[in-house]
Amino acid sequence: MTVDGYILPLPAENVEAYRAMAQCAGQIWIEHGALSYRECLGDDLSSEWSGDSFPKAVNASANEKVIFAFIEFESREHRDAVNAKVYEDPRLEECGDMEDPPFDFKRMAYGGFQVLVNLKK
């Protein structure tokens, strides 16, 4: 299994706009074969066990929330095929104004990951 994951700072006033954009885009990813699509809004981001935090990692200000999101795929090849279909899908443009998005793309951290441990109940 492969996961695309990312974190980003989001101005608090843009949460609902981001939710709408993510809901729209997520449906497209699922329709093209992603196994799951999750967008999570941070609500407990302080830790005594870590020397760093999600807010620090994306340089979030006091009026910003942090989004942690991931999309699951069968394999890297599956991810590449699904993502190619998604990025060619014209409906993606209907999900939001990428000229004026609700967050700053330059402050988003992204990566593709191979699942190391996958436990489920």
pLDDT in tens, 25-44: 999 999 999 999 999 999 98
Partners of 114 in the β-ladder:
2
User: CA-based angle 119:120:121, to the nearest 5?
Assistant: 135
Rounded to whole angstroms, the Cα distance separating 101 from 85 reads 22
pLDDT of 66 > 90? The answer is yes
pLDDT of 115 > 70? The answer is yes
Q: What is the pTM of this model?
A: 0.90
Rounded to whole angstroms, the Cα distance separating 111 from 121 reads 26
Question: Mean pLDDT in the chain?
Answer: 93
| SS3 label, residue 98 | coil
pLDDT band at 50 (very low <50, low <70, confident <90, very high): low
Q: Can you read off the two tokens belonging to residue 53?
A: 């935090």
pLDDT in tens, 79-92: 999 999 999 999 99
Q: Which residue carries 């935090």 as its tokens?
A: 53
Listed residue (35, 30, 39, 37) closest to 86, CA to CA: 30
pLDDT band at 105 (very low <50, low <70, confident <90, very high): confident
